[in-house]
Amino acid sequence: MNNGQTLSSKKDSWFSKKELIAYLLVIGGSILFAIGDVMFANPYKLAPGGTYGLSNVLNTVFPWKISYYAACMDIPLLLIGTWILGPRFGVKTIVSTFVILGAVWGIENTWGYAPLIHNGILPADFDMASVPEYMRNMLVQLQLGDKGIITFVPDYFLNTLVAGLIYGVAIGMIFKSGATSGGSDIISMIINKYTRIPLGTLVIIVDTTITLSTLVAFGEIRLPIYSIMLIVIEGKIINWMMDWGVKNKKAAVAETHA
């Protein structure tokens, strides 16, 4: 095959239907991930692993935009990962990283950090002192920038369930595109290169450490518990999405040879 034919085949592969679908998946999954983080995880002070989980904790303790914290971690990790591991992430992972950053920034500046799921937002002039002390831990207070502080009645279980579904579908779409979400996964890959610890074990260790940071930061045992529940639901959905594609392909092959 001559050089002209090689360049032509490469060009065709970039504009193929398969590649188009892959990029639609990575962009759609990245936007969905941003929605899950800003509208569901952050308002409830949940940290389901990854750089965005840590960004949620930092955003609550030291108010600064989630996207700014994430950018300070994700961009250097991409550069360090490429330097140490080589270009293993590909264009789609870079696209995913920056689409998530952009989507999170956009939601922060339009929607803010208010929860989408709750059992009621209390009036702005609400006096916390009027609530019996034993009930105060049932309420959640958020600083919404210039909008001041809001207080809402949380629904932890329903929010965690929906957040897990959203995260799972989002990450599943990104994985189906052939990309990864980058972030803390790169840390696990680097440690894996220099140790004999399996990559899956390292991912669990890194994400669990980030999840447990909610206990240190906020002193509430329920927050890491709900975060772990979110991670479990997310993992189940990701596995289902990945297996679904494989099963459909096997079924199609079986029908072809029947």
C-alpha distances in Å from residue 124, one per residue of 45, 151, 180: 21, 8, 41
pLDDT, tens digit, 9 for 90 and up, residues 75-128: 898 888 778 777 666 788 888 899 999 999 999 999 888 899 999 888 877 777
Provide the 10 A C-beta neighbour count for residue 239: 12
pLDDT, tens digit, 9 for 90 and up, residues 28-87: 999 999 999 999 999 999 988 888 999 999 988 888 899 999 999 998 988 887 787 776
Q: Are 230 and 163 in contact (CB under 8 A)?
A: yes
- As beta bridge partners, residue 149 has 143
Range with lowest mean pLDDT among 22-31, 67-76, 152-161, 204-213: 204-213
Binning pLDDT at 50, 70 and 90, where does residue 145 land?
A: low
Q: Could you give the CA distance from residue 33 to residue 27 in angstroms, rounded to a whole number?
A: 10
Q: Is the pLDDT of residue 153 over 80?
A: yes
pLDDT, tens digit, 9 for 90 and up, residues 218-254: 888 888 999 999 988 888 888 888 787 555 444 433 4
Q: Could you give the CA distance from residue 54 to residue 65 in angstroms, rounded to a whole number?
A: 12
Q: Could you give the CA distance from residue 107 to residue 170 in angstroms, rounded to a whole number?
A: 16
167 Cβ neighbours under 8 A, 6+ residues apart: 33, 36, 41, 48, 230, 233, 234, 237
Binning pLDDT at 50, 70 and 90, where does residue 200 land?
A: low
Query: What pLDDT sits at residue 161?
Result: 95
Considering only CA atoms, which of 118, 162, 124, 110 is closest in space to residue 140?
118
Query: What pLDDT sits at residue 185?
Result: 72
Range 195-208 average pLDDT: 75
